[in-house]
Amino acid sequence: MTLGFYPGCSLTGSSREYAESVVALCEELGIELKQIPDWNCCGATAAHNMDKELSLSLPARILALAEKDGMTEIVVPCAACYSRLSTTQYELNQDETLKAKVASIIGMPYKGSVKILNVIQMLQKYAVDKLADKIKKPFDKEVACYYGCLLVRPHEVLQFDRVEDPQTMDVLMAQVGAKPIDWAFKTECCGAGFSVSQPDIVGKLSGKIVKDAVDRGAKAIIVACPMCHSNLDMRRPAIDSYLKTKVDIPVLYVTQVIGLALGINREKLGLPRHFVPVTFA
């Protein structure tokens, strides 16, 4: 089975390990990923902070390219890209005039018919029934599933899981043997796009998240977003200085955890690329 694939910029750079683990996992599960030809950046936070039409046009180009290639479903592992693409599709479907305008800006036809899946949705749809048989080494750890903002909000647009105390990732983690903890910061913001421009705020917001996970006995934080990952993992010095203590809880992508349970090796899953070392695998 083949699905369209939009890695997004982070996954080709600072979050390569996310892409590596997605690819490795899909390979194991028999899902073929086909990159959208000549894809561009979705514009992320910067575009919609600065210019609405730009923020719609960049994702629209990506979706239009996918349509052009005949794709009906695309996987978007990065939660930020997932949010931008979904929002664009939603807004343009609400407003035919705007849709026509954006189509003219990007200079190609745009229907808005491609189904956009985040990684969890993809796994729910195409892997859930296969997982049990493939587990070689259950991920027997307490984990704090961290959804962040962009995976579940706004519900109106994404129609994925519930906004308060979401469960899909927890269920998935339990399926590979992990013990998801009940905690309070599942959907609090980590500081997102302020990673570079406001590191102190990131330290504070991410610090609260990391602390709650550690306080409640989590051995790993599980994420499905490269921004969340880099804030919680790479910005650990800022976090430590906010918390005035050193915390060493590792942060793993949901695909890495499943990959480990399925017996895929740590290099292939990109685990060595983390700043906070993943010592148990």
Partner 1 sequence: MSRIGVFVCHCGENISSTVDVEKVAQTAAGFDGVAYSVDYKYMCSDPGQSLIKQAIKDHNLTGVVVSACSPRMHEPTFRKACAEAGLNGYMCEMTNLREHCSWVHERTEETTEKAIDLVRMLVEKVKNDKPLEPIKVPIFKTALVIGGGIAGIQTSLDIANCGHKVILVEKEPSIGGHMSQLSETFPTLDCSQCILTPRMVEVAQHPNITLYTYSELESLEGYIGNFKAKIRKKAKSVDHSVCTGCGDCWTKCPSKKIPSEFNAGLDNRTAIYVPFPQAVPNKPVIDKDHCTYYQKGKCRLCEKNCKPGAIHFDLEDEIIEVEVGGIVVTTGFDVKGTDFFPEYGYGKYKDVITGLQFERLASASGPTLGEIKRPSDGKVPEKIVFIACAGSRDPAKGIDYCSKICCMYTAKHAMLYQHKVHTGKSYVFYMDIRAGGKNYEEFVRRAIEEDKVNYVRGRVSTVYEKNGKLIVKGADTLMNGQPVEIEADMVVLATAGVANCGSEELAQKLHVSYDRYKFFAEAHPKLKPVETNTAGIFLAGACQAPKDIPETVGMASGAAAKVAALFSQDELKREPLIAVVNRQMPPTFSSCVGCFLCETACPYRAIEREEIKDRAGNVIKTIAKVNDGLCQGCGTCVAFCRTKSIDIQGFTNEQMYSEVMALLND
Partner 2 sequence: MGHHQPHEESGLAADVKKATGVVAEKCYQCGKCSAGCPVADEMDLPPSLVMRMLQTNQPENDEKILRSKTIWLCLTCEMCIARCPMSIDIPKVMDFLREKSRTEKKISSNANDIVAFHDSFLLSVEKTGKLYELGLIAAYKLKTFHLMQDVAIAPAMIQKGKLHFIPEMVKDRGNLSSIFSKTIKKK
Residues at the interface with partner 2 (CB under 8 A): 9-10, 12-16, 38-41, 43-55, 57-58, 61, 105-107, 149-150, 153-155, 163-164, 187-189, 191-194, 196-199, 201, 205, 234, 237, 272-275
| # chain residues binding partner 1, by CB under 8 A | 7
Residue with smaller CB distance to partner 2, 154 or 177: 154
Residue 106 interacts, among partner 2, partner 1, none and using kind-specific CB cut-offs from 5 to 8 Å, with: partner 2
- Element spanning 17, H or E: helix 16-29
Q: Which of residues 204-233 bind partner 1 (CB under 8 A)?
A: 212, 215
CA–CA dist 109, 64 (Å, integer)? 7
4 three-state secondary structure: strand
Q: Is 155 in the site for partner 1 (CB under 8 A)?
A: no
Residue with smaller CB distance to partner 1, 20 or 161: 161
Q: Which two tokens stand for residue 69?
A: 């290639």
DSSP sequence for 80-149: HHHHHHHHHHHHHHH-HHHHHHHHHHHTS-----PEEE-HHHHHHHHTHHHHHHH-SS---SEEEE--TT
Quote the least distance from Cβ 277 to partner 2, whole Å: 11
Contact segment (CB under 8 A) with partner 1 among 126-134, 160-168, 234-242, 272-280 equals 160-168
CA–CA dist 230, 79 (Å, integer)? 13
Residue 196 interacts, among partner 2, partner 1, none and using kind-specific CB cut-offs from 5 to 8 Å, with: partner 2
In angstroms, what CA-CA distances link 121 with 58, 74, 152, 229? 23, 11, 12, 19
Binding site for partner 1 (CB under 8 A): 162-165, 184, 212, 215
